[in-house]
Structure 1
Amino acid sequence: MSGYQYLDVKLKLRDPDSVTLTPVFFFGCIHSSLASIFGEIGGQTTLDIVKFSSSQKRSILRVPENFLERVRIAIALIGYYQDVPCHFQVLSTSRKPLDFEDSPEEFVAFN
């Protein structure tokens, strides 16, 4: 069984004030892109949000290594978030868990 890769992903929006940025919508946008490009994705293609910051519009994702390329492709091809033009940027990728840089802001962690 393969290990995991961690991705630090940032969402850049044309009009950030017109969307609701939550971990569920963030995840749903990526999941929809995966499904539209690669078809139905099964249980073997787990994608988890480890951390999320709505103020920084960033998330740390955990992805199985054998699914990493598909996730990166799906993220790169997203053009809209809640009908607002956008693009997602992968800031970094690592085999070790990533974290946001030190900040006084509160972050939500998911498991």
Structure 2
Amino acid sequence: MSGYQYLDVKLKLRDPDSVTLTPVFLYGCIFNSLASIFGEIGGQTTVDIVKFSTEQNRFIFRVTEDFLERVRIALTLIGYYQEVPCHFQVLNTSQKPLDFEESPVEFIAFD
């Protein structure tokens, strides 16, 4: 079993007021990118949203180490979120759990 990596990611949107940023939509966007680039991903990996902030358009992912490169590629190639031009910026990557420098945040899941 591989360890985990944590990614602190910011979503930059051209028109942030025209989208609904939720963990479910975000998760779907990322998994659609993974599936379109790498095909069926099934149970090969664990990708969890650990923390989520709508105010900052930021989130922290926990991914298995062996899947980190694929997730980073998928994030880089996403150009639209809910049909609004965007890009994802990875602010930090760590083997230890990350936290936002600023609050407030919503805690989503953490084992």
Measured on the aligned residues, the alpha-carbon RMSD in Å equals: 0.8
Residue 33 of structure 1 corresponds to which residue in structure 2? 33
Q: Percent identity?
A: 78
CA deviations over 1:36-62 (Å, ceiling 9, x no partner): 000011212110000000010000000
Structure 1 segments of 4+ aligned residues over 6 angstroms from their partners: none
Distance 1:43 1:20, change over 3 A: same
Amino acid across the alignment from 1:69 = E
Structure 1 residue 102 displacement after superposition: 3.7
SS state at 1:11 partner: strand
Q: 1:102 to 1:18 in 2, by over 3 A?
A: closer
TM-score, with structure 1 as normaliser:
0.95
What is the count of residue pairs matched by the alignment? 109
- Which of 102, 107, 110 matches 1:109? 107
Q: Which runs of 5+ in 2 are unaligned?
A: none
Whole-Å Cα distance in 1 between the matches of residues 90 and 101 of structure 2?
A: 15
CA distance in structure 2 between the partners assigned to 1:54 and 1:6 by the alignment: 19
Q: How many angstroms apart in 2 are the aligned matches of 1:46 and 1:40? A: 14
Equivalent residue number for residue 66 of structure 2: 66
- Other structure's SS at 2:61 match: strand
Residues 77-92 of structure 1: pairs in structure 2 closer than 5 A:
77-92=77-92
Structure 1, unaligned runs of 5 or more: none
